[in-house]
Amino acid sequence: MMALMLGATVFAAIGAFVIVFEGMAFLGQGVDAYRGKVADQVRQLDGLYVKAEPHKLFFLNIVSSFVMFVVVFVSTGSAVVSLAVCPIGMFVSKLWIGLARKRRLRLFDEQFVDAVGVISSALKSGLSLQQAIARVAAQYPPPLSQELSMVGKEAALGVPLEQALINLGRRVGSQDLDLFVTATNVVRDVGGNLSEMFDTIADTLRERNTIQGKIRALTSQGRMQGIVIGLMPVALGVILYRLDPNLVAPLFNDPIGWTILFVIVLFEAIGAFVIAKIVRIDV
Protein backbone atom coordinates (compact mmCIF):
# COMPACT_ATOMS: atom_id res chain seq x y z
CA MET A 1 0.00 0.00 0.00
CA MET A 2 2.81 2.37 0.92
CA ALA A 3 4.61 1.50 -2.30
CA LEU A 4 1.44 2.27 -4.26
CA MET A 5 1.00 5.64 -2.56
CA LEU A 6 4.68 6.44 -3.08
CA GLY A 7 4.41 5.56 -6.75
CA ALA A 8 1.29 7.69 -7.15
CA THR A 9 3.05 10.61 -5.43
CA VAL A 10 6.10 10.29 -7.67
CA PHE A 11 3.89 10.03 -10.75
CA ALA A 12 1.90 13.13 -9.70
CA ALA A 13 5.12 15.04 -9.02
CA ILE A 14 6.51 14.12 -12.43
CA GLY A 15 3.22 15.09 -14.10
CA ALA A 16 3.15 18.43 -12.29
CA PHE A 17 6.77 19.08 -13.29
CA VAL A 18 6.03 18.31 -16.94
CA ILE A 19 2.95 20.55 -16.93
CA VAL A 20 4.85 23.44 -15.32
CA PHE A 21 7.83 22.96 -17.64
CA GLU A 22 5.68 22.84 -20.78
CA GLY A 23 3.62 25.78 -19.54
CA MET A 24 6.73 27.88 -19.00
CA ALA A 25 8.02 26.92 -22.45
CA PHE A 26 4.67 27.84 -24.03
CA LEU A 27 4.61 31.11 -22.13
CA GLY A 28 8.16 31.86 -23.24
CA GLN A 29 7.22 31.21 -26.88
CA GLY A 30 4.23 33.53 -26.50
CA VAL A 31 6.39 36.28 -25.02
CA ASP A 32 8.94 35.91 -27.83
CA ALA A 33 6.19 36.06 -30.45
CA TYR A 34 4.71 39.14 -28.83
CA ARG A 35 8.13 40.80 -28.69
CA GLY A 36 8.40 40.16 -32.43
CA LYS A 37 5.07 41.91 -32.95
CA VAL A 38 6.27 44.84 -30.83
CA ALA A 39 9.42 45.07 -32.97
CA ASP A 40 7.19 45.14 -36.07
CA GLN A 41 5.18 47.97 -34.50
CA VAL A 42 8.42 49.87 -33.91
CA ARG A 43 9.23 49.52 -37.62
CA GLN A 44 5.78 50.86 -38.45
CA LEU A 45 6.45 53.83 -36.17
CA ASP A 46 9.70 54.42 -38.04
CA GLY A 47 7.60 54.67 -41.18
CA LEU A 48 5.58 57.37 -39.39
CA TYR A 49 8.84 59.15 -38.46
CA VAL A 50 8.18 58.46 -34.79
CA LYS A 51 11.10 57.08 -32.80
CA ALA A 52 10.28 54.45 -30.16
CA GLU A 53 12.23 51.70 -28.43
CA PRO A 54 10.79 48.15 -28.34
CA HIS A 55 11.10 47.68 -24.58
CA LYS A 56 9.28 50.97 -23.90
CA LEU A 57 6.45 49.99 -26.23
CA PHE A 58 6.27 46.56 -24.58
CA PHE A 59 6.11 48.17 -21.13
CA LEU A 60 3.37 50.55 -22.35
CA ASN A 61 1.23 47.60 -23.46
CA ILE A 62 1.70 45.84 -20.12
CA VAL A 63 0.67 48.99 -18.24
CA SER A 64 -2.36 49.39 -20.53
CA SER A 65 -3.45 45.83 -19.75
CA PHE A 66 -3.09 46.41 -16.01
CA VAL A 67 -5.05 49.67 -16.18
CA MET A 68 -7.81 47.97 -18.17
CA PHE A 69 -7.97 45.14 -15.61
CA VAL A 70 -8.32 47.63 -12.74
CA VAL A 71 -10.98 49.70 -14.54
CA VAL A 72 -13.08 46.67 -15.48
CA PHE A 73 -12.72 45.12 -12.01
CA VAL A 74 -13.79 48.35 -10.30
CA SER A 75 -16.74 48.68 -12.71
CA THR A 76 -17.98 45.09 -12.60
CA GLY A 77 -16.44 43.56 -9.48
CA SER A 78 -15.74 40.36 -11.42
CA ALA A 79 -12.15 39.10 -11.59
CA VAL A 80 -13.04 36.64 -14.38
CA VAL A 81 -14.41 39.34 -16.68
CA SER A 82 -11.46 41.59 -15.83
CA LEU A 83 -8.96 38.87 -16.70
CA ALA A 84 -10.82 38.17 -19.94
CA VAL A 85 -10.79 41.84 -20.97
CA CYS A 86 -7.33 42.93 -19.84
CA PRO A 87 -5.46 41.29 -22.80
CA ILE A 88 -7.10 43.92 -25.01
CA GLY A 89 -4.67 46.39 -23.46
CA MET A 90 -1.84 44.54 -25.22
CA PHE A 91 -3.21 45.81 -28.53
CA VAL A 92 -3.60 49.47 -27.57
CA SER A 93 -0.36 50.43 -29.29
CA LYS A 94 -1.35 48.50 -32.43
CA LEU A 95 -4.71 50.29 -32.51
CA TRP A 96 -3.04 53.67 -32.05
CA ILE A 97 -0.52 52.96 -34.82
CA GLY A 98 -3.32 51.93 -37.18
CA LEU A 99 -5.27 55.12 -36.49
CA ALA A 100 -2.11 57.22 -36.89
CA ARG A 101 -1.32 55.58 -40.23
CA LYS A 102 -4.85 56.23 -41.51
CA ARG A 103 -4.74 59.85 -40.36
CA ARG A 104 -1.31 60.36 -41.93
CA LEU A 105 -2.43 58.76 -45.21
CA ARG A 106 -5.53 60.95 -45.36
CA LEU A 107 -3.45 64.08 -44.78
CA PHE A 108 -0.91 62.96 -47.39
CA ASP A 109 -3.63 62.46 -50.01
CA GLU A 110 -5.06 65.91 -49.27
CA GLN A 111 -1.66 67.54 -49.74
CA PHE A 112 -0.69 65.42 -52.72
CA VAL A 113 -3.52 66.63 -54.96
CA ASP A 114 -2.24 70.21 -54.90
CA ALA A 115 1.38 69.05 -54.97
CA VAL A 116 0.89 67.37 -58.35
CA GLY A 117 -0.23 70.72 -59.79
CA VAL A 118 2.82 72.43 -58.27
CA ILE A 119 5.12 69.81 -59.80
CA SER A 120 3.48 70.37 -63.18
CA SER A 121 4.00 74.15 -62.92
CA ALA A 122 7.64 73.62 -61.91
CA LEU A 123 8.22 71.43 -64.96
CA LYS A 124 6.71 74.08 -67.21
CA SER A 125 9.13 76.63 -65.74
CA GLY A 126 12.09 74.51 -66.85
CA LEU A 127 12.95 72.48 -63.76
CA SER A 128 13.68 68.78 -63.89
CA LEU A 129 11.38 66.29 -62.19
CA GLN A 130 13.82 65.78 -59.32
CA GLN A 131 14.13 69.54 -58.81
CA ALA A 132 10.35 69.94 -58.93
CA ILE A 133 9.91 67.24 -56.27
CA ALA A 134 12.57 68.95 -54.11
CA ARG A 135 10.72 72.27 -54.43
CA VAL A 136 7.44 70.69 -53.29
CA ALA A 137 9.24 69.00 -50.39
CA ALA A 138 10.57 72.40 -49.28
CA GLN A 139 7.19 74.17 -49.57
CA TYR A 140 4.79 71.69 -47.98
CA PRO A 141 4.50 70.57 -44.33
CA PRO A 142 4.72 66.93 -43.18
CA PRO A 143 3.88 64.24 -44.07
CA LEU A 144 4.29 65.16 -47.75
CA SER A 145 7.58 66.99 -47.18
CA GLN A 146 9.02 64.05 -45.24
CA GLU A 147 8.22 61.48 -47.90
CA LEU A 148 9.34 63.61 -50.86
CA SER A 149 12.52 64.59 -49.04
CA MET A 150 13.29 60.89 -48.73
CA VAL A 151 13.03 60.63 -52.53
CA GLY A 152 15.63 63.37 -52.89
CA LYS A 153 17.94 61.71 -50.37
CA GLU A 154 17.72 58.36 -52.16
CA ALA A 155 18.42 60.03 -55.52
CA ALA A 156 21.42 61.83 -53.99
CA LEU A 157 22.79 58.46 -52.87
CA GLY A 158 22.66 57.12 -56.42
CA VAL A 159 19.24 55.44 -56.45
CA PRO A 160 17.53 55.95 -59.84
CA LEU A 161 14.61 58.35 -59.63
CA GLU A 162 12.23 55.71 -60.97
CA GLN A 163 13.20 53.31 -58.17
CA ALA A 164 13.02 56.10 -55.59
CA LEU A 165 9.45 56.82 -56.68
CA ILE A 166 8.57 53.12 -56.46
CA ASN A 167 10.01 53.03 -52.93
CA LEU A 168 7.91 56.10 -52.11
CA GLY A 169 4.76 54.33 -53.24
CA ARG A 170 5.58 51.26 -51.14
CA ARG A 171 6.23 53.33 -48.01
CA VAL A 172 3.10 55.46 -48.21
CA GLY A 173 0.56 52.97 -49.57
CA SER A 174 -1.61 55.60 -51.26
CA GLN A 175 -3.69 54.76 -54.35
CA ASP A 176 -3.32 58.33 -55.61
CA LEU A 177 0.46 58.12 -55.26
CA ASP A 178 0.55 54.73 -57.00
CA LEU A 179 -1.23 56.29 -59.99
CA PHE A 180 1.30 59.13 -60.02
CA VAL A 181 4.32 56.81 -59.77
CA THR A 182 3.11 54.38 -62.44
CA ALA A 183 2.21 57.13 -64.91
CA THR A 184 5.47 59.00 -64.28
CA ASN A 185 7.69 55.96 -64.85
CA VAL A 186 5.76 54.95 -67.98
CA VAL A 187 6.02 58.43 -69.53
CA ARG A 188 9.72 58.66 -68.66
CA ASP A 189 10.34 55.30 -70.35
CA VAL A 190 8.27 55.72 -73.53
CA GLY A 191 8.40 59.52 -73.80
CA GLY A 192 5.74 62.15 -73.46
CA ASN A 193 4.82 65.47 -71.88
CA LEU A 194 5.13 65.10 -68.12
CA SER A 195 3.53 68.44 -67.24
CA GLU A 196 0.39 67.72 -69.28
CA MET A 197 0.19 64.25 -67.77
CA PHE A 198 0.48 65.72 -64.26
CA ASP A 199 -2.31 68.22 -65.03
CA THR A 200 -4.52 65.32 -66.10
CA ILE A 201 -3.68 63.36 -62.95
CA ALA A 202 -4.39 66.40 -60.75
CA ASP A 203 -7.81 66.89 -62.37
CA THR A 204 -8.57 63.17 -61.98
CA LEU A 205 -7.60 63.19 -58.31
CA ARG A 206 -9.72 66.30 -57.62
CA GLU A 207 -12.75 64.70 -59.25
CA ARG A 208 -12.15 61.51 -57.32
CA ASN A 209 -11.88 63.37 -54.01
CA THR A 210 -15.09 65.25 -54.82
CA ILE A 211 -16.94 61.99 -55.45
CA GLN A 212 -15.52 60.46 -52.26
CA GLY A 213 -16.68 63.50 -50.29
CA LYS A 214 -20.19 63.10 -51.66
CA ILE A 215 -20.16 59.39 -50.80
CA ARG A 216 -19.05 60.13 -47.22
CA ALA A 217 -21.86 62.67 -46.90
CA LEU A 218 -24.46 60.23 -48.23
CA THR A 219 -23.28 57.36 -46.01
CA SER A 220 -22.79 59.45 -42.86
CA GLN A 221 -26.33 58.63 -41.68
CA GLY A 222 -25.66 54.90 -41.99
CA ARG A 223 -22.40 55.19 -40.07
CA MET A 224 -24.11 57.18 -37.31
CA GLN A 225 -26.89 54.61 -37.09
CA GLY A 226 -24.30 51.86 -36.75
CA ILE A 227 -22.54 53.73 -33.93
CA VAL A 228 -25.80 54.41 -32.08
CA ILE A 229 -27.03 50.83 -32.43
CA GLY A 230 -23.64 49.50 -31.33
CA LEU A 231 -23.45 51.70 -28.23
CA MET A 232 -27.09 51.24 -27.21
CA PRO A 233 -26.65 47.84 -25.47
CA VAL A 234 -23.59 49.13 -23.62
CA ALA A 235 -25.40 52.27 -22.48
CA LEU A 236 -28.47 50.25 -21.46
CA GLY A 237 -26.30 47.84 -19.46
CA VAL A 238 -24.58 50.72 -17.63
CA ILE A 239 -27.93 52.35 -16.82
CA LEU A 240 -29.41 49.09 -15.50
CA TYR A 241 -26.28 48.44 -13.44
CA ARG A 242 -26.53 51.89 -11.86
CA LEU A 243 -30.24 51.47 -11.15
CA ASP A 244 -30.07 47.91 -9.77
CA PRO A 245 -26.62 46.24 -9.60
CA ASN A 246 -28.10 42.96 -8.39
CA LEU A 247 -30.14 42.70 -11.60
CA VAL A 248 -27.04 42.85 -13.83
CA ALA A 249 -24.58 41.08 -11.52
CA PRO A 250 -25.39 37.53 -12.84
CA LEU A 251 -24.02 38.56 -16.23
CA PHE A 252 -20.56 38.90 -14.66
CA ASN A 253 -20.68 36.27 -11.92
CA ASP A 254 -22.41 33.31 -13.56
CA PRO A 255 -21.24 31.09 -16.46
CA ILE A 256 -24.59 31.55 -18.18
CA GLY A 257 -24.12 35.32 -17.91
CA TRP A 258 -20.67 35.03 -19.44
CA THR A 259 -22.20 33.08 -22.33
CA ILE A 260 -24.83 35.76 -22.83
CA LEU A 261 -22.14 38.46 -22.82
CA PHE A 262 -20.12 36.52 -25.38
CA VAL A 263 -23.15 36.17 -27.66
CA ILE A 264 -23.90 39.90 -27.30
CA VAL A 265 -20.34 40.87 -28.20
CA LEU A 266 -20.34 38.41 -31.12
CA PHE A 267 -23.53 39.79 -32.62
CA GLU A 268 -22.34 43.36 -32.01
CA ALA A 269 -19.17 42.59 -33.96
CA ILE A 270 -21.10 40.95 -36.80
CA GLY A 271 -23.48 43.92 -37.00
CA ALA A 272 -20.60 46.42 -37.04
CA PHE A 273 -18.85 44.43 -39.77
CA VAL A 274 -21.97 44.25 -41.95
CA ILE A 275 -22.73 47.97 -41.56
CA ALA A 276 -19.11 48.85 -42.35
CA LYS A 277 -19.30 46.78 -45.55
CA ILE A 278 -22.55 48.46 -46.58
CA VAL A 279 -21.36 52.05 -46.10
CA ARG A 280 -17.86 51.49 -47.55
CA ILE A 281 -17.84 52.32 -51.26
CA ASP A 282 -14.54 52.32 -53.14
CA VAL A 283 -14.04 54.82 -55.94
* pLDDT, tens digit (0-9, with 9 covering 90-100), for 99-118: 888 899 989 998 999 999 99
Q: Are 111 and 140 in contact (CB under 8 A)?
A: yes
Q: With 80 as the cut, is the pLDDT of residue 233 above it?
A: yes
Question: What residue spans define the domains of the chain?
Answer: 18-95
Say which residue, 131 or 68, is predicted with more confidence: 131
User: Long-range contact list for 54-58, CB < 8 A, 24+ apart?
Assistant: 57/93, 58/34
Model-wide pTM > 0.75 = no
> CA 282: distance to chain centroid?
19
3-class DSSP assignment, residue 1? coil
- Per-residue pLDDT for 259 more than 80? yes
Residue 103 CA, distance from chain mean position = 10
Report residue 282: phi and psi, to 5°.
-85, 140
Contact (Cβ atoms closer than 8 angstroms) between residue 171 and residue 47: yes
Position with higher pLDDT, 201 vs 252? 201
Q: pLDDT of 154-172, one tens digit each?
A: 988 899 999 999 999 998 9
Let me know: does 226 contact 275? Beta carbons within 8 Å: yes
Distance separating alpha carbons of residues 119 and 132, to the nearest angstrom: 5
Q: Report pLDDT digits (tens) over 174-229.
A: 888 998 999 999 888 888 888 898 999 989 888 888 888 888 888 887 778 878 88
Q: Which residues contact 118 (CB under 8 A, 6 or more apart)?
A: 132, 135, 136, 139
Question: Could you tell me which residue, 28 or 109, shows the higher pLDDT?
Answer: 109
pLDDT at site 25:
44
